Structure formats: C-alpha cells, structure tokens
C-alpha cells in the first residue's frame, strides 16, 4: 500500500470543538462567521474556555470537557495554534481541522474564505485525515509529547554545549555546538530545515537528528527509523535546556538524560481531499521560482 493512501474518516461529525489563537482579540469579529458556517451544515459548535473569555463569549467548555464532547477539534490561527491543540488533545485521540489565519500555514489546511466550500464536501465525506508521527519524551521523570521537534541546547549564548547521544543504549555520537534537534517528519520543514536538515514526507515514520551550528564540519543530519530509542545527555556542569515544539522549556542537569521514542498514537489532521503536499512545499518554499 502506498504511504499516501489513507481511508479513515470520522465516525461522527455533529459537534466541533473550537480553539482560537491566544491573544488574538481580533477573532471576536471573525468567530461568529466561522460558527455560523458550521451551523449552516448542521454541525454544533463548542468554544474552549480561554478562547471564549478572550472574545467575551459567555458559553464555553474547559478544554478537557471540549475534547470529551466534540467529535473533532478546530484550530483557528496558525501552525503554532494547531500544534498546541494537537499536543493538548493527545490523550483524547481527536482529529483536528486547522483554519489558517497565520502566515506560513504548512499544517493548517483551510482558509476562512474556503471554509464553507470545505464543509459542503466535509459533510459528504469528501476530505482526508493525515496521521502524523509524534514524539514521546521523558524529562525530569515527566512524559511530554512533541509534534514537530525536541531541541536540546545551551543555557547561555556565550557557550556551546556538549551532547552525548545513544541509540537503544549504545553511544553513537557526541555533539559540540549550539545544540541538537530531534525532529518528526512533520517538523522537518520547521527548525530542522533552517538548520540544514532534510525534508521528509510527513506520513513517514522516522527521527531526524540535526546538529545546530556544530563545531565540527563532519557532523551531519541523520535520519533514523522510528523504532529506535534515542537518549541524550550533557556532561557540562551547567546542564542544558530542552525546548519542545518551541512551546515548553525544561532544564536538565549535568549527566541527566532524556529519552525519546515514537509516541503510542499519531496526530490526526483533517485536510482538503485534494491537498497535495508537494504543491504545498512548492508554494511555501518558493521552489522552482
């Protein structure tokens, strides 16, 4: 079966749980139109609590309740908003539709002026769901989920960081530089790309290990099968910083390790039926221009 084939559809499409981009009060003027379009096609709308308070709506649900009651989730904003919604809803295994109000929009599939046409197809099961690999990591005895990437980096801009890397308990490399990115295929077009890493088709299952400004020119990006466990630590006395999807930041001490594995379930992104990933790359990255 080709990796592009995916026939899964939602069992029910009656209730949409909407989460708005944080600190975007201008959505107060946009949200009523979005809500009305869903309701036009018989889809009830629930609004997440912090989103509702931001735009002075009085009816809302806490996020966990929103996930439990909704058939699918809707992220209104940019890719960062969609990543946050996907990570927060991981334990509920909900599909997410991204309405793009951002600038780049690699992940968010639908523009506001396309929403009505999309919903007309959506209720007739003319859409797709992409399943994207996510990363599980253990930091400070806590588990966390990453959609794009995990970055281990220096604490001070004045210093570089040493990073020891193991695969399935066996040491395979030591890095010295500004840091290291462990990326999913979806995250390959994010920080990984700007650091010289490769672009991977987002439905594959693999880790991308990309050094950030390495001291040695022999250090190069590495693509690994997703069934490996990667373990990272630093021998530096000051420790290091761990950044997950650019949203959560942790500190690790000297010789404290973090373990990285493929997550037990995948992110589900609702998309236009004819959305072509290679066309998206061409448009967003100006390939061939």
Q: Which residues are catalytic?
A: 79
**45-50 long-range contacts, Cβ below 8 Å, gap at least 24?**
45/15, 45/16, 45/18, 46/15, 46/16, 46/17, 46/18, 46/70, 47/18, 47/20, 48/17, 48/18, 48/19, 48/20, 50/22
Question: What is residue 213's DSSP assignment?
Answer: S
For 140, phi and psi rounded to 5 degrees?
50, 40
The gap between the terminal CA atoms of the chain, to the nearest Å, is 33
Query: Distances from the Cα of 176 to the Cαs of 25, 162, 223, 235, 289, in angstroms?
Result: 43, 5, 19, 11, 36
The two beta strands, 95-100 and 72-77, are: parallel
Query: Distances from the Cα of 173 to the Cαs of 89, 170, 211, 221, 243, in angstroms?
Result: 34, 9, 11, 12, 21
Spatial distance between the Cα atoms of 73 and 134, rounded to a whole number of angstroms = 18
The two structure tokens encoding residue 201: 């088709």
Q: Could you give the strand order of the β-sheet that contains 170-177, starting from the edge strand earlier in sequence?
A: 142-146, 135-139, 258-262, 230-233, 161-167, 170-177
Q: Which helix (H) or strand (E) holds 100?
A: strand 95-100
Query: Distances from the Cα of 206 to the Cαs of 2, 25, 223, in angstroms?
Result: 17, 38, 7
């Amino acid at each position: 079966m080709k990796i592009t084939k995916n026939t899964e559809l939602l069992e029910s499409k009656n209730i949409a749980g909407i989460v708005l981009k944080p600190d975007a009060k201008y959505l107060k003027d946009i949200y009523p139109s979005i809500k009305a379009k869903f309701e036009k096609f018989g889809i009830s709308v629930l609004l997440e609590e912090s989103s509702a308070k931001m735009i002075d709506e009085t009816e809302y649900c806490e996020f966990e309740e929103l996930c439990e009651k909704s058939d699918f989730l809707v992220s209104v904003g940019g890719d960062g908003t969609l990543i946050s919604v996907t990570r927060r809803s991981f334990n509920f295994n909900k599909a997410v539709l991204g309405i793009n109000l951002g600038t780049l929009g690699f992940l968010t599939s639908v523009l506001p002026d396309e929403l009505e046409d999309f919903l007309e197809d959506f209720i007739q099961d003319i859409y797709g769901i992409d399943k994207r690999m996510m990363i599980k990591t253990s930091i400070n005895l806590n588990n966390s989920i990453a959609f794009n990437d995990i970055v281990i980096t220096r604490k001070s801009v004045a210093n570089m960081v040493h990073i020891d890397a193991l695969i399935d308990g066996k040491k395979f490399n030591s890095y010295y530089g500004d840091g290291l990115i462990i990326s999913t295929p979806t995250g390959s077009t994010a920080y990984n790309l700007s650091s010289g890493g490769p672009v991977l088709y987002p439905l594959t299952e693999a880790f991308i290990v990309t050094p950030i400004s390495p001291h040695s020119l022999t250090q190069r990006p590495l693509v690994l099968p997703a069934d490996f466990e990667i373990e990272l630590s630093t021998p530096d006395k000051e420790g290091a910083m761990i950044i997950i999807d650019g949203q959560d930041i942790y500190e690790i001490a000297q010789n404290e390790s973090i373990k990285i594995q493929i997550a037990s379930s995948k992110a589900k992104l609702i998309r236009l039926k004819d959305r072509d990933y290679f066309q998206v790359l061409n448009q967003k990255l100006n390939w061939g221009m």
